[in-house]
Structure 1
Amino acid sequence: MNQIRKYLQNFVEMTGHDWEFFSSKLIKKTFTKKGIILKQSDVEKYLSFVENRVVRFYISETSSDLTFGFVFQNDFVSAYDSFLSQQPCPYQVETITQTTLYRIHYQDLQKVYETTSMGNELGRRNAERLFLIKSNREISLLNRTAEERYLDLFSSHPELIKQIPLKYIASYIGITPQALSRIRKRIS
């Protein structure tokens, strides 16, 4: 849990009371490899902190899955649109390897917002961070080549990227696995 506290202190100042209240609401859960965190059409009830490994977001298609996001260890993960609206999620969230999460339920997070001095600021800053991630991803898809997107992903998480199957990486950067193989061959 110290990882979560360190992460949160990057965004907000937290009193001992605030941390005790927040951490008392966290539930530790371990998922197996390819464990479904959230099924398509379910409502997201948790905001989770990835203690270790990698999580992916995808839309299940008949021919292949369309991967559109990854969350790496020491970061928060949620189908945030479903979490905020409490409406069914149009995609799935799964683990790539065995993964441990610390989770807080929607209702408990609302209590954190209401009763702690850091709650609202934490919520706002997390929402701003998620917006910037989404915006940067969209701009990257429009302005950068597939090779540049691959190199960006690899340089930001070199130790974890090796755990992600190439077909998921290819889908994420918007190309076929064969095209990704050619890129990897060219840059090696």
Structure 2
Amino acid sequence: MNEIRRFIENITPMNNSDWQFFSSKLQEVKLKKHSILLNFGEIENHLTFITKGIVRLYVPREEFDLTFGFLFENEFVTGYDSFLTQDPSEYQIETLTETILWKISREDLQEVYERTNSGNIIGRKMAENMFLIKSKRELSLLSKTAEERYLDLFSDRPKLLQQIPLKYIASYIGVTPQALSRIRKRIT
């Protein structure tokens, strides 16, 4: 739970009483590799902080999944569009490694926003950060080659990416596993 407090303190200071109230709403969850956090068609009702592990966001398909995001330690994960609209999710979220998470329900988060001084600031800054991540991803898909997207991904988190199967990385950068293999041969 200390990781969450440090993360939040980097966003905005949170006094001890606000922290006590917020942390009382958190629930620790330990999951095995390939555990589903959110199924396609489910409504997202939690915001989750990753303290250990790697999580993948993807659209399930019969032939091959379309991976569109990876999240790592000290990041929040949620089906944010479903969380906001309370509509069924159009994608899934799963763990790629053994994972430790801290979850807060939508209802409890709304109470944190209402009853704490820093809750709204934290919520706004997290939403802004999620927007920036999404925007960066979209611009990357529109303006960079698959090789550039691979190099960007690898330069951001080289050690963690060694734990992600290549088929997921290929899907994330928008190529087949065979094309990713050719890219990797060219750059090594």
1:4 deviation in Å? 0.6
Deviations 1:17-51 (A, max 9, x none): 11111111110001111100010000001100011
In 2, Cα distance between the equivalents of 1:3 and 1:21? 17
**SS at structure 2 position matched to 1:167:** helix
CA-based RMSD of the aligned residues comes to: 0.7
Paired amino acid for 1:92: Q
**2:88 matched residue in structure 1:** 88
**2:55 matched residue in structure 1:** 55
In 1, Cα distance between the equivalents of 2:19 and 2:13? 10
Does structure 1 residue 4 correspond to structure 2 residue 4?
A: yes
In 2, Cα distance between the equivalents of 1:184 and 1:120? 44
**1:151 matched residue in structure 2:** 151
**1:70 matched residue in structure 2:** 70
In 1, Cα distance between the equivalents of 2:113 and 2:63? 42
In 2, Cα distance between the equivalents of 1:52 and 1:186? 33
In 1, Cα distance between the equivalents of 2:150 and 2:72? 16
**SS at structure 2 position matched to 1:182:** helix
In 2, Cα distance between the equivalents of 1:100 and 1:56? 14
1:159 deviation in Å? 1.4
What are structure 2's unaligned runs of at least 5 residues? none
Deviation beyond 2 Å, 4+ runs, structure 1: none
**TM-score scaled to structure 2, two decimals?**
0.98
**SS at structure 2 position matched to 1:10:** helix
Paired amino acid for 2:174: G
Paired amino acid for 1:144: K
1:129 deviation in Å? 0.5
Matches within 5 A, 1:20-169: 20-169=20-169
In 1, Cα distance between the equivalents of 2:186 and 2:118? 48
Paired amino acid for 2:186: R
What are structure 1's unaligned runs of at least 5 residues? none
Question: In the alignment, is the contact (CA less than 8 A) between 1:53 and 1:160 conserved in 2?
Answer: no
In 2, Cα distance between the equivalents of 1:22 and 1:162? 34
Deviations 1:46-87 (A, max 9, x none): 100011111011111110111011111110000000011111
In 1, Cα distance between the equivalents of 2:158 and 2:72? 11
In 2, Cα distance between the equivalents of 1:9 and 1:144? 34
